[in-house]
Amino acid sequence: MTAEHVAFAILAVLTIGGGISVAFSARVIYAAFSLLFTFIGVAGMYVLLAADFLAVAQVIIYVGGILVLILFGVMLTQRIYDVRLKAQRIQPVVGGIAAAAVLALLVIVIFGTEWNAVVPGDPEPTTEVLGHGFMKEFVFPFEFASIVLLIALVGAALIARRNDNGDGSSERKKANRETGGRLT
């Protein structure tokens, strides 16, 4: 067993353990911190695959951006960091059968496929090749994707600002009326 195999096993346990903890955590803040281990494990697997750009992007975007945003959102929202999540089980028998069918399909594909094992060469940096691809060959799809993401962001902001109760008052105004304008 090589050092790469040991590192992969550790990262796999870290990633899967973090994912299971996110799924079954009773508190929102614990689920958010467990997500950190999942993201770090995935970034480590990218390092093992010699995908340096993806590893750095995983750390910067997911750990540095999205996870911090989730943690700030949870911590700055009043009374949500101590909220216990209640999992509502809807049709567990049908879900269990579907999960078993997907597992059986995956096992059939894994053992029924002839995997072409190639001896890997020396890892080379991928950032230069990706940079040239993004700025020369694939500049239009890259910019198109950024415009689509911008439109989605603006749409999400508009949906978030929309009044949910239909009478023209937002939830914050409703909360101010209930508490007499006091901050709680």
- Domains in the chain, CATH or no CATH each: 1-86 (1.20.120.1200), 125-184 (no CATH)
Maximum pairwise Cα distance, the chain: 70
Residue range 11-34: mean pLDDT, rounded: 89
Distances in whole angstroms, Cα of residue 178 to Cα of each of 143, 167, 168 = 47, 16, 16
Segment 32-41 mean pLDDT: 91
Neighbours of 45 (CB within 10 A): 19
b/e code 95-130 from CB counts within 10 Å (16+ = b) = eeeeeeeeeeeeeeeeeeeeeeeeeeeeeeeeeeeb
Per-residue pLDDT, 30: 85
Q: What is the mean pLDDT of the chain?
A: 82
pLDDT of residue 142: 84
SS3 7: helix
The residue-averaged pLDDT of 58-65 equals 88
Q: pTM value?
A: 0.60
Q: What is the pLDDT of residue 163?
A: 56
First to last CA, the chain: 57
Flag whether pLDDT at 165 surpasses 60: no
Please determine, for residue 171, whether its predicted confidence score (pLDDT) is greater than 60: no
Work out the pLDDT band at 62, boundaries 50, 70, 90: confident
